[in-house]
Structure 1
Amino acid sequence: MTPQSWAGWYRDSHGSDALVISAVERQLRTRIRGVDYAGDSFDSFAPVGDGPEGAEPLSDCVLEWDMPLPVVADDSTAHQATLSCLLALRRPATDLGVTLHYGGTSYVSGNDQGDFGAAVALIQEQLPPGSILQAPFAAAV
């Protein structure tokens, strides 16, 4: 699988910072304020290795990023779309909102479990018949 990266923002009570989220195989990685984080899902980022003293899994913050994704129409033509993602990590609650911008229409989904795969599946159900959203990696991430 080819590594993929998406630019976005990290926000918490200390301010905002640009970030890049990368997916390699089934692992997501990012660096925030000099600390490397990795996780199996967007809501499970934790410091890599021992991390610096006091570094903890991400919490009480917001991650926001855009993912360019193709949507394949029933005539096998691929059309470019953008999936805008907003993940609020507020333990114990997590809130995920995703919006697919495709063909002049916005398809909105989300959930309060941070389940990216379920949110993408709800968007797929809203697309015109025969259209298939090409997720960049396994939807379970």
Structure 2
Amino acid sequence: MTTQSWAGWYRDRHGSEALTITADGTQLHTRIRGVDFAGAGFDSLGPVPGIPTEGSFVLDGGSLRDFVLEWDMPVPVASADGALHQATLSCLLSLKPPEPDLGLALHLGGAVYASGRAELDFGSVLDDIRRQLPYGAHLQPSVLESI
């Protein structure tokens, strides 16, 4: 699988900063305030072993918590006639108390298809959007399947 990267923002009680999220098909990677993080999913991002963390992070069991992460990613969508259209998936992950939340919105051809459930499972939230697409339209397989 091809490695993909997306620009985004990280925010916590210490402020915000731009970042790049990279997915290689098995893990996500990012660098926040000079510290490398990796994980199988967004809710499991933790410091890369062997690299010390800075004191300004709120960690819970080695994973990031109490933060908001926003990013946009291009997503190809095939219509019923087989034509490919470029869409943008806007993502907002909030791991802030009291309840974690993942919100997704697919922007396609002037329409927005938004998730309506508060879950952390990327696949389940993405399925919510898939069910809203016009008849015959479907998201093309991509790195989305591994998040």
- Name the TM-score, length of structure 2 as normaliser: 0.89
Taking only aligned residues, the RMSD between alpha carbons, in angstroms, comes to: 1.7
Instruction: Confirm or deny that 1:59 pairs with 2:51.
Output: no
Contact 2:9 2:71 survives alignment (8 Å): yes
How far residue 16 of structure 1 moved from its aligned partner, in angstroms, is 0.7
Q: List, as ranges, runs of 4+ consecutive aligned residues in structure 1 with deviation greater than 3 Å.
A: 53-56, 110-113
Larger deviation: 26-35 or 103-112? 103-112
The structure-2 alpha-carbon separation of the partners of 1:102 and 1:138, relative to structure 1 and needing over 3 Å to count, comes to closer
Structure 1, unaligned stretches of length 5 or more?
none
Instruction: Confirm or deny that 1:86 pairs with 2:92.
Output: yes
Counterpart position of 1:115: 121
Q: d(CA) in 1 for partners of 2:50 and 2:117?
A: 31
Larger deviation: 49-58 or 8-17? 49-58
Contact 1:120 1:139 survives alignment (8 Å): no
- Name the TM-score, length of structure 1 as normaliser: 0.92
How far residue 27 of structure 1 moved from its aligned partner, in angstroms, is 0.5
Equivalent in 104, 108, 132 of residue 138 of structure 2: 132
Q: d(CA) in 2 for partners of 1:43 and 1:118?
A: 14
The structure-2 alpha-carbon separation of the partners of 1:113 and 1:92, relative to structure 1 and needing over 3 Å to count, comes to farther
Counterpart position of 1:33: 33
Counterpart position of 2:83: 77
- The structure richer in strand per residue is 1
The structure-2 alpha-carbon separation of the partners of 1:135 and 1:18, relative to structure 1 and needing over 3 Å to count, comes to farther
Counterpart position of 2:110: 104
Which letter maps to 1:48?
V
* Secondary structure of 1:139's aligned partner: helix
The structure-2 alpha-carbon separation of the partners of 1:136 and 1:96, relative to structure 1 and needing over 3 Å to count, comes to same
Q: d(CA) in 2 for partners of 1:111 and 1:12?
A: 23
Q: What percent identity do the matched residue pairs reach?
A: 56
- The superposition leaves residues 49-90 of structure 1 with CA deviations (integer Å, 9 ceiling, x where unpaired) of 133155632111000000000110111110010000000012
Structure 2, unaligned stretches of length 5 or more?
none
